[in-house]
Structures are given as structure tokens and as C-alpha cells.
């Protein structure tokens, strides 16, 4: 019985938060249509999210991913050079 209650509670929280998010987004659109200057200010401040740095672990992962295709190309090109 507890499992059913926790599942229903989590489902209710998800539905309510999605509904609240939708309501906030609709109000934001209505507000931006009434006050275009305010919308420009909002859009100007929105990119501040990019201030947060990318963790070094993710940068290392991206570098490894970039190096893998280069290694594959080198491996594919080496046998061709030997045969010439």
C-alpha cells in the first residue's frame, strides 16, 4: 500500500510542477506581448546562465571523444601508405 501511495504522490508532484511551469510560461508570454521592453530585458539577462563554468571532467571527456575519430583516421590511412 505504501508503494502505491508514494507512486501516486510522485506522479501528483510531477503533474503539478509541469502545470505550474506551463502556467508561468504562459504568463511570461502574455507579459512579453504587453511590455516588449521588459521582454528584451528578460532576453538580455537570460544568457547569464552561461556564466556557470563547464566542469573539467566534462572537458576531458570531450577531448577524448575528439581524439578517437583522429586515431581511427590514422589507423585507416596507415595501411594505405604501406602498400604504396
Element (H, E) at 28: helix 2-34
**Structure confidence by residue, pLDDT tens digits, 3-61:** 678 888 889 999 999 999 999 989 888 887 887 777 777 777 777 777 777 788 888 88
Same domain, 25 and 62: no
For residue 64, the model assigns a pLDDT of 87
Q: Tell me, what's the pLDDT at 21?
A: 92
- 60-78: string of b/e by CB count within 10 Å (b at 16+)? eeeeeeeeeeeeeeeeeee
Residue 3 sits in the same domain as residue 43? yes
Domain count, the chain: 2
Are residue 64 and residue 38 in the same domain, yes or no? no
The cell numbers describing 13, all together, are 508532484
User: Residue 2: which pLDDT band, with cuts at 50, 70 and 90?
Assistant: low
- Asked if residue 1 has pLDDT above 60, the reply is no
Which residue range is the domain that position 63 belongs to?
A: 53-84
The DSSP string of 35-69 is -HHHHHHHHHHGGGGGGSPPPHHHHHHHHHHHHHH
Amino acid at each position: 500500500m505504501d508503494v502505491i501511495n508514494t507512486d501516486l504522490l510522485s506522479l501528483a508532484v510531477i503533474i503539478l510542477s509541469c502545470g505550474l511551469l506551463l502556467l508561468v510560461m504562459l504568463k511570461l508570454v502574455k507579459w512579453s506581448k504587453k511590455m516588449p521592453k521588459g521582454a528584451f530585458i528578460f532576453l538580455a539577462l537570460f544568457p547569464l546562465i552561461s556564466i556557470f563554468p563547464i566542469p573539467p571532467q566534462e572537458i576531458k571527456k570531450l577531448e577524448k571523444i575528439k581524439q578517437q575519430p583522429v586515431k581511427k583516421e590514422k589507423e585507416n590511412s596507415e595501411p594505405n601508405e604501406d602498400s604504396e
